[in-house]
Amino acid sequence: MTDFPSSKYERGKIIAKTGIKIGTNYAQRYIKKKVNKKESSGTDSEFHSENAKEVFKEFTKLRGTALKIAQGMSMDQGFLPEEFADVMSQAQYSVPPINKALVRSILKKELGAYPEQLFQSFESEAFAAASIGQVHKAVLKDGRKVAIKIQYPNVRETIDSDLALAKTLAKRLVKKGSDIDPYFEEIRSTLLDETDYRREGRQIDLFHSRFSNLDISIPEWVEEYSTERVLCMTYLEGRHLGEFLKEDPTPEQRDHFGQLLWDFFHEQILDNDYIHADTHPGNFLFTYDDKLGVIDFGCVKKFPEVFFRNYLNLLPTHLENDDKSIRDLYEKLGVIKPGSEPGDQEQVYFDFAKNYGMTFAEPYRNDVFDFGDPDFDKTIRHFTKDAPLSNEPRGNEHFIYTTRVHVGLYNLLIKLGARINTTRSKEILSEILDVEFQPA
């Protein structure tokens, strides 16, 4: 009793059909615009939105890995038309839910009883639904309000088939002999972790103990009502970024929540422990008592120490504009090939990565930085669109998730238009890296 195709053939057919349809739409659009050059940009916007909606509709049927891709599209900073990011943001918490009978069946299988026997009350309508599960409000028999996350059927079983299909497609595009296995294994292991709700429960406990003393609200894991595919946690009141912005918040409110986001991620670095690596609006709440709520801990990463130290060291070397040290780090991190020299064929990758890195280092140049500056947003989008095309993978596989954290954070702050004080974050980085940040 399931709404989802789970075989490799069924899922591959949907992905192929979607790709062909969207590709044909864009090809026809290109020809039409060549013939009629008076098409307006407004029509362009509508065209991109309709195609994005088509992709989202088909990916919704697949859920799982496919919707994880859609979530990635929602954080895009320039590779895709902006309309794709707007539509795909629905993949963060507004996916059509599974039917009520299936929800009851899953709870009976996982927890041994139907919801009316387990809880004082249970809302059969999901209030949030995303890539691998949907969330229902409930009240425990002891009176605690909780959120019950229920995993969609067959999600775990489809990860390998989805990634196998993606890998087959990728091998047609990359340079012959390129090793793409580490990238796919990194994604696979992370997705498998995300489907283990007991693991997520333990991460909730860990983050609750680490951050509950700050202005950060972390739910509590309710282990006795949790399994590998059902997760119970205390319920947090708040609103997501889109809802918050519709309230027309004051600059002070924007700055306040932006500062909490900025500080949360830098405090994680200080602990040298697991880092929340799923930085999209659906995973954060702006609570009514002015705290930052963090509500999803499926994708948390503990990066290898050597890699992560080299990654962090990119910041001071870019601020110092130290080409030799930057080049050395890029080689260690796999961005450019070993033994490269200034002016050789690797120079185009070096120049792009350095300029992009300089942009991401910009907030640390002063004690206060304004993410609401439209020029900063344009600069990030410019470098994203101007990325050198290559048919060979570049960069360590762990960049997949460090980039997700970094780009996701900046994207949230840009949407907030927040002014951030960077003093504490520079103190943390100085302590970890044993460097001094020079006054602007």
pLDDT digits (tens, 9 = 90+) for 353-377: 999 999 999 999 999 999 999 999 9
pLDDT category at 389 given cuts 50, 70, 90 is low
Q: What are phi and psi of 420, to 5 degrees?
A: -120, 135
- Domains (ranges, CATH) in the chain? 8-92 (no CATH), 93-153+196-235 (3.30.200.20), 158-191 (no CATH), 237-440 (no CATH)
List the one residue out of 56, 29, 54, 57 whose CA is nearest residue 43.
29
292 in Cβ contact with 264 (< 8 Å)? yes
Task: Give the whole-angstrom CA distance, residue 288 versus residue 56.
Answer: 31
pLDDT category at 157 given cuts 50, 70, 90 is confident
227 in Cβ contact with 197 (< 8 Å)? yes
| DSSP string for 47-78 | HHHHHHHHHHHHHHHH-HHHHHHHHHHHT-SS
Radius of gyration of the chain (CA): 23
Task: Give the whole-angstrom CA distance, residue 36 versus residue 14.
Answer: 33
Q: Summarize pLDDT for 132-145 with one digit per residue, the tens.
A: 888 999 999 999 99
Q: Summarize pLDDT for 223-255 with one digit per residue, the tens.
A: 999 999 999 999 999 999 999 999 999 999 999
- 335 secondary structure, DSSP code: S
Task: Give the whole-angstrom CA distance, residue 263 versus residue 282.
Answer: 19
Q: Summarize pLDDT for 64-101 with one digit per residue, the tens.
A: 565 565 555 444 444 445 555 555 455 455 566 788 99
Task: Give the whole-angstrom CA distance, residue 396 versus residue 307.
Answer: 8
